[in-house]
Amino acid sequence: MAAAQMRSLSPWAEAWRRFKRHRMAYVSLWVLAMLALAVLLGPLLYKVGINDIDFKARLATPSAAHLMGTDDLGRDLLARMLYGGRISLAVGLAAMSMALTVGVLIGAIAGISGGWVDAALMWVTDLFLSLPQLPLLLLLIFLFRETLKQMFGLEVGMFLLIVTVIGGFRWMPVARLVRAQFFSLREKEFVEAARALGASVPRQVVRHILPNSLGPVIVAGTIDVAAAIIAESTLSFLGLGFPPDIPTWGRILYDSRDFMDIASHWAMFPGLAISVTVLTINYVGDGLRDALDPRRVL
C-alpha cells in the first residue's frame, strides 16, 4: 500500500516529501517564512516611525520601550529593522529573478544552438566572470546614481540601480549550469522522440528540456538570493547603497560602525538578521539540492 502511494506521487510532491526529510532545510524554511512574515506585517503592527527622533533615548539599550534599543538619534531600531528587512529581502529576490532570467535565457540559447552561437555567448560569459565585481559595482553606482534618482525618485531609483548591478553580475554561473544541462538533456531519448514526432526546437526547449533542468536552477536561485542580500549589505556598509533615511540592514550596520564600543546592540541586530537570513537560505538550497536530485536517497 505504501509503495503504491509512493508511485502515485507527482514529481513535485515527491520532491516535497524528500525535502521534509532534510531536517535543517525544513526548519530553515519555517524560520525564513517567519522572518519574511515579520518584515511584511511588522511595520503594519508596530506603529513607531522609522525616522522618529528622541534625543532623550539616544543609544538606549534594548528595553520594554525599545525592544532592540535605539541609535545615536534615538530612533527605534526595531522599527528600522522591520522596514529595512523588506528592502533587503526585496533586493535579494529581485536580483535573483534578474540573474535567473538572464542566465536561463543565455544558457538555453547556447545549449540548444551550439556552434558559433554557443562560442560567442560563452565568450561573453567568461568576460563577465573575469571582471572584478566590487570595483565595477562601485563605478556603476557612482555613474548612474544621480540619473536614476532624477528619473524614478530616490528610493525606487536606488532600488533599480542596486538590483540591476547585483543581478547583472550573478547570471554567469546560472548560464553555465543551464548550458551544461541542455547539452546533457538534448540527446536523451525523450527529446529524440519529441524531435522524431516533429516537435519544433522552441517546443522541445519549453516542454521537454527546460522543465527537466529546473532542479539545479532552483538551487542556484536560492544561492543567488543569499549572495544578493550580502552584496546589498556590503554596498550599504560602504556607504554606497540606500541613503540614511532608507534603513536597510546593511545601512543600519554601516551607521553603527562608530558606536560599536558603546552601543554594540546597534550592530548586533542587523548583523544577526543578515546572518540568519543567509544561513537559512543556504540550508533551504541544500535541501532543494537533495530533494530535486533523484540519485540521492532520502
| Host domain of residue 148 | 12-45+78-291
| pLDDT (0 to 100) of residue 74 | 84
Nine-digit cell string for 1: 500500500
Give the Cα separation of 265 and 68 in Å (integer). 7
Residues 6+ apart with CB under 8 A from 190: 208
Low-confidence stretches of the chain (pLDDT beneath 70): 1-12, 293-298
Q: Does 186 map to a domain?
A: yes
Count up the domains in the chain and report the number.
1
Residue/partner pairs of 49-53 with CB below 8 Å, 24 or more apart:
49/76, 49/79, 50/75, 50/76, 50/79, 50/80, 50/83, 50/247, 51/75, 51/245, 52/76, 52/79
| pLDDT (0 to 100) of residue 1 | 43
At 285, which CATH number?
1.10.3720.10
Q: Does 54 map to a domain?
A: no
Give the Cα separation of 273 and 65 in Å (integer). 21
| pLDDT (0 to 100) of residue 294 | 56
| pLDDT (0 to 100) of residue 64 | 83
Q: Does 141 map to a domain?
A: yes
Q: Is the dihedral of CA 70, 76, 79, 83 positive or negative?
A: negative
Q: Does 153 map to a domain?
A: yes
Q: Does 225 map to a domain?
A: yes
70 phi and psi, to 5 degrees? -135, 170
Give the Cα separation of 129 and 132 in Å (integer). 8
CB 293 within 8 A of CB 34: no
Q: Does 4 map to a domain?
A: no
Q: Does 62 map to a domain?
A: no
| pLDDT (0 to 100) of residue 295 | 54
Q: Please give the helix or strand (H or E) that residue 29 lies within, else none.
A: helix 23-45
